[in-house]
Amino acid sequence: MRTVRPTDRVRNLGILAHVDAGKTTVTERILFLTGAVHKRGEVHDGTTVTDFDPQERERGITISSAAVTCAWADHRLTLIDTPGHVDFSDEVERALRVLDGAVAVFDAVAGVEPQSETVWRQADRHGVPRIAFVNKMDRPGADLDAAVASIRSRLGAAALPVQLPVGREDGFRGVVDLVRMRAYVWDDGGLAETGVPPGLRDEAVRRRRALEEAVAELHPGSLEEFCATDALADGTLAGALRALTLAGSAVVVLCGSAYRDRGVEPLLDAVVAYLPSPLDRPPVGGGERPADPHAPLVALAFKVNAAPTGRMTHVRVYSGTLGKGDTVLDTATGRTERISRVLRVQADRTDELPGALAGEIVAVVGPKAVRAGATLCPPDAQVVLEPPVTADPVVSVAVEARLGTDTGRLAAALARLAEEDPSLVVRTDPETGQTVLSGLGELHLEVAVERLRRDRGLEVTVGRPQVAYRETVLKGVTGLVHRHVKQDGGAGQFAHVVLDVGPSPDGEEFAFSSTVTGGRVPQEYVRAVEAGCRDALGDGPLGGHPVTGVRVTLTDGATHPKDSSELAFRTAGRFALREALRASAMALLEPVAEVTVTVPAESVGAVLGDLAARRGRVTDSQVRGGTSVVTATVPLAELFGYATRLRGRTQGRGTFTTRPAGYEPLTG
């Protein structure tokens, strides 16, 4: 029987972190403690609930975000375990778009790592309140204070630790809750709640005082009590911490060791106490659709599973009720779709529901053409929600079927892949006729190709990866005149434009302005010239790559009383800019990545030499716990095959992570 909880007892949260910080293990322990599963899953054993895909279990990483639902303290928690690898950051983006809160997991030794910073910035962009969990407190070199310091310095967050570890490294066995001034200790008999151990009382009192001072400084509502009594009551402190979390003004920090089952129960209590319910989030649809089951329906599709056995669309219901048999409008396509089934998702399993209420995350079966980012609403109460942002692909490979008879199957399989993952782009190269698959990284494409082989049973050949280059203007031209005249019977076409072209200010991709006076070019034709210039940015003169960093100014022009039209001026703008770019000094840009390499100290020399050979530029080097951490900016084209080379140079002990760092002029 389904238990329906009030909306204020619902928590929709994501688990965010750098790869290997322990996100999936935290999720598994939460599921076990809440009774959602009856056996602990382990990443290294390939038995986790949320990493159910064979590739995830083989590689030991999360590739696709997976939703699971459980209950704690009479609250319903829907968790989405997100990927930590940069190649799958688009999965994180789509998940954050529909979540109310998040738990950011950090390694107690490494602190803030590159992808930690990336997902943190993504959460900032979506305004998602967070609490932090410093994991792996049992590791040698684990240091809560250092991890908190890295959160403050690298993320710019007001980190407020609310716990004090009991024991260090391998002796870590519990935490002191600084809000309630109680200790939680785990041993073979399970969890025991006690008073603060005598040896930690002075330290706990000192840290509680520091927490009260920090909260009073950030939260005006508690400042008055602090000034009057020189302290904060437990209830005041907890209420202020929740208010600061919801406002994004501070981040509550907890600690533990998920693998050793220590610290997860207080984390669950903190999720319930501090993270928002759907009622705490602003109404959607311009503020007109609150999280009310009785309001008109608004739901956002954020993920599609287009399996051969059926199509399943994951949606977040923001307002109203979505029921079996309902007819909804897909505002992206203008089509109406019928909901045949509503499902509660438990990773790779589903349970059928009669319907979904405001604040719930579910999957629906029935819609045939709904894509990720589409808004579902009643046909007579339309509203459009902002879709998740899809990252531009940076790496491409040519894919073709080994057997000519499989060409049609390959095209259908690629279309299905792109439907499930909008960050994958499929196109046909106009020069070679090859089918090109583009994605966010080498691993991203490797996983996609392996799915073609395993899931679709296709034998495919793959060309060497190619990166997505761009072209930009170094020195432009002024006063370029272009006349577009076409007369072939009937109404003709006439447009006269004069352009100044140069590098765009402040690194903008494209800037357009008009200084034409006296009405020589009407405003509607100015807009047509801008549209034509945008058309010309698709293929630059150096190699047909997209053009970026261009400023265009329309300085003069002329019209014909009969033959001028928006089409004529759009055509003139397109050809004029192409001509101007051919006359300009252009440069080729290549995508670069920030690479963080962690290696034994004795291997640093070999790694630095290899990075230099790959045209890398070292930006930072640190020593952490006997290992060296080198950060460098490296052209993406030079990173293909780097994992194998690094393993060889470090006897398999080196690891690295990457994240996009924009474009830089091509060198070498």
Binding site per annotation, positions for GTP:
17-24, 81-85, 135-138
Distances, alpha carbon 23 to alpha carbons 43, 62, 65, 599, in Å: 10, 9, 11, 23
Distance, in Å, from the CA atom of 158 to the CA atom of 150, rounded to the nearest integer, reads 11
Provide CB contacts within 8 A for 446, sequence distance 6+.
Answer: none
Outline where 162-259 has alpha helix (H): 201-218, 220-229, 234-247
Distance, in Å, from the CA atom of 601 to the CA atom of 629, rounded to the nearest integer, reads 9
Distance, in Å, from the CA atom of 13 to the CA atom of 104, rounded to the nearest integer, reads 10
Among candidates 343, 287, 342, which has minimal Cα distance to 319? 287
Provide CB contacts within 8 A for 22, sequence distance 6+.
Answer: 105, 107, 135, 136, 258, 259
Beta bridge partners of 558: 496
Phi/psi at 362 (nearest 5 deg)?
-140, 180
Distance, in Å, from the CA atom of 8 to the CA atom of 524, rounded to the nearest integer, reads 51
Beta bridge partners of 353: 342
What is the arrangement of strands in the sheet containing 251-255, beginning at the earlier edge strand? 66-72, 75-81, 10-17, 101-107, 130-135, 251-255, 159-161
Provide CB contacts within 8 A for 235, sequence distance 6+.
Answer: none
Distances, alpha carbon 276 to alpha carbons 159, 201, 279, 666, in Å: 18, 32, 8, 46
Q: Are 22 and 258 in contact (CB under 8 A)?
A: yes
Residues annotated within a binding site: 17-24, 81-85, 135-138
Distance, in Å, from the CA atom of 653 to the CA atom of 603, rounded to the nearest integer, reads 9
Q: Are 546 and 539 in contact (CB under 8 A)?
A: yes
Beta bridge partners of 316: 300, 361
Distance, in Å, from the CA atom of 212 to the CA atom of 255, rounded to the nearest integer, reads 19
What is the arrangement of strands in the sheet containing 190-194, beginning at the earlier edge strand? 163-166, 174-177, 182-187, 190-194
Q: Count other Cβ atoms within 10 Å, centred on residue 30.
A: 25
Q: Are 462 and 398 in contact (CB under 8 A)?
A: yes
Distance, in Å, from the CA atom of 374 to the CA atom of 376, rounded to the nearest integer, reads 7
Among candidates 327, 321, 421, which has minimal Cα distance to 366? 327
